[in-house]
Chain A
Amino acid sequence: MLPELGNFALILAMIIALAQGIVPMIGAARGIPSWMAFARSAAWAQLSLLVFSFGILTYAFVTHDFSVAYVANHSNSALPLSYRISAVWGGHEGSLLLWVMLMSAWSTAVALFSKRLPLEMVARVLAVMGLIAAGFTSFVVFTSNPFDRYFPAPLDGRDLNPMLQDFGLIVHPPMLYMGYVGFSVAFAFAIAALLGGRLDAAWARWSRPWTIIAWVFLTLGIALGSWWAYYELGWGGWWFWDPVENASFLPWLVGTALMHSLAVSEKRSTFKSWTVLLAIFAFSLCLLGTFLVRSGVLTSVHAFASDPTRGVYILMLLGVVVGVSLVIYAWRAPQVKSAGNFALLSRETFLLGNNVLLVVATATILMGTLYPLILDALNLGKISVGPPYFNAVFVPLMIPLIVVLGIGPLSRWKQDDFGRLAKILRYALVVSLVLGVLWPWMLFGKLDLMVVVGATISIWLVACILLDLFYRIRHKSSFWKGLTSQPLSFYGMSLAHLGVAITVVGITFTSYYSLEKDLRMAPGDQLELGGYLFQFDGIRDAHGPNYTSTKGIISVTRDGKPVGTMYTEKRNYTVQQMPMTEAGIDPGLFRDLYVAMGEPLGDGGWAMRIYYKPFVRWIWLGSLFMAFGGILAASDRRYRLMARRKAGLDIDAKLATQES
């Protein structure tokens, strides 16, 4: 009975989403306040129904209701409680239910935090989000219903895919989806502004915090996915340029461009048409990502579902969203006047550089990702594009981006002076060139051109951030007063940029200085790697709730002193008869030790991977800095001032003086 209630709530949510998409839109066009006000109540109703529906599916998992087909396919009576809950989004149907629930959570958040926005704007924004929600909820209802039943109910479930039975996979999809659907807010604001003819600085200021928060979630989602792949897939890779990874990375790149372009639109009232276009692209790429992952067109670790009708449905949704929004853009954008004027050497130009580089990077990755799919769809042969392509195109674009990233915040809006910039930057240049060579050489005792480049641009970036801080506070009466008088958004930006430097250092050092050894080891065998001595002590049998396992024990010493004992496992999940390797990792800020068992080779010998990975944690540490910087920037008081807006124009004037 309960699953039917859940299904009913889902269908009701779909109808309400449709109403949320139509009624306020007409209300905004005709100027009927009560129709416009309906948007907020609709958002709340939709969220309540979807939470109810999601709760019922979760309850079915918790209580082992195997008469529900989705539960029977993704759970088992031996599955621990935490994984039974995360299994709700461990498969196609449930993860889409999560998708639409989060989508409506964003709608409700907009309804809640937009009290001071003009009602017409709120109505349009929520209407656009309602239409998107209606499209995806209907997709769930008609093609991917998680409440379908099995008759008769099976005695036990087929278990959750062992790869997904892991902490990383409990948190990775919700984070990523929060980011994906979060960009629908920026998209809805852009479309609403186009429709209402209100493409002004106020629009940019409203969109900014929403865009930043969506970007924060996407950043964390991607970092979690990378971290999960590193420890769970058992061979120590942290990025594979897998199409599904690219699917999340593409909206991130365009979203990053959008954040920066919004800054120009807000502060200088220029780049506006371009910003709108970026908002459309960012959300379209989120939908493309959903299509790639959920349609089953890809061969990848993620593509568990493959049903052609589903792919066609999402492709149609994607086509409608992109098509309609581009038509609205073509119709309305020519009326947008860009007010600002800027010189060749100005912060606008540097931000333009940021945008061009990020968009070109997106285009090249998109090409490598889609090219094999298009050839396959046209029956022109089956090909794959390997990581060397992506590295070859992506890295050369990121180097100038980071150089520009250092200069941008130090430069002035509208017009800057070359002599002034050169005078400030020469110290950063000298320090980064010297340390860029010395630092890696002192750490590792050997150099590679790309290592010097990576270290130099990272130090350059850090030096520029410090210079920026220095120039901002040197005229203040005291150091402390200077620090506290800076707005939160400045600290947010600096932290996020620092995060980029940290990630670049991590990627560079891990890529060039990792030591990796695959070998046969029998109990008692030793291996020296990166100054550590690894000794294979033997194996031990173990078992978990739904698997049996063989544990390999490796003791590690350095200069005769014990570092620790590492355990790696070969698990066999009993229901699906699927083997899984669990890597043993000894984490550290400056190096990870990584061991993973391969297969038994006879005579007590095992195939063994032993890796020494310097600075690998910095990759994810940098992402945390970026995300935290984003949170700081989004909580800057000027957005809240804007929201309160008690003194109207007075505040705008005050802000203008503060920022200059």
Chain B
Amino acid sequence: MKKIYIKHRLLKDKLLFVMVSLLSALTAVPLLAILGEVLIKGYDQFSWAFFTEPTPTAYKAMKAVAAGELIPGGIANGIVGTLIMLGMASLFALPIGIMCGIYLAENSKKKFAYIVSYITDLLQGTPSVIIGIVTYIWVVVPMKGYSAIAGSVALFIMMLPLIIRSTEETMKILPSSLKEAGLALGGNYMRVVTKVQLPAAFGGIFTGTLLAISRVIGETAPLMFTALGCSIIRWDIDKPISAVPLLIWEFFNDPNLQDLIWGASLFLLVFVLTLNLTAKKLAKKWNS
């Protein structure tokens, strides 16, 4: 009988395990490096004024930099703009996305549902810059100006497939016994959906929504074509408006404001990470 070299095989096994572990650890490096970089550079910008005051003018910033002081003002205009546009986009994306997700989950074998599902996938894969330019043609041109409405439409289009998918997946994993038990009590379809299935799916849909928001909150390209940006805190939805990612781009392009890049980036990063972690935690709680 041929001799079997167990030691040799065990060594190879160990070597592979160490390699896989090392490579896995490497995947954490980019995030930690980004977080570290942004944290170190942006941390000292953080102050009360940074969140409550709008972007300073280039002249004010230049004077502060020349005097060796921190740039005054902050990113409140961007925060307000981001919240307004996200709010408006969610207002439409949530009901439409949830209803569409329910339809897809309930009628997965129908041809129409198959087509809608396919289109949803394509929409999810559409580059955001294209969504931006198309929204420009659809909304900015007829309205004769950039606006928060146009920005919301672009974000709405981006959020929609994410919410449809998460609702569909959540509804699909609900046990069919729930629906059958509801209908067996003589409930009509709409009532069974609204009183039994949707409440049971709430956790999953909420998690999906948080992830959708965290996914689009950092989008810059579509907002360049639609919301444009604005240096004051503005609540009008038919006027150009700012957003945090837009501000980062503006700061990058203005040598006087470059120090503000890091504070704005840190804010955006922390916001997105918090949303993601909350979503993950909720999903875990909901699944158990």
Q: Do A and B bind each other?
A: no
Residues of chain B whose beta carbon lies under 8 Å from any beta carbon of chain A: none
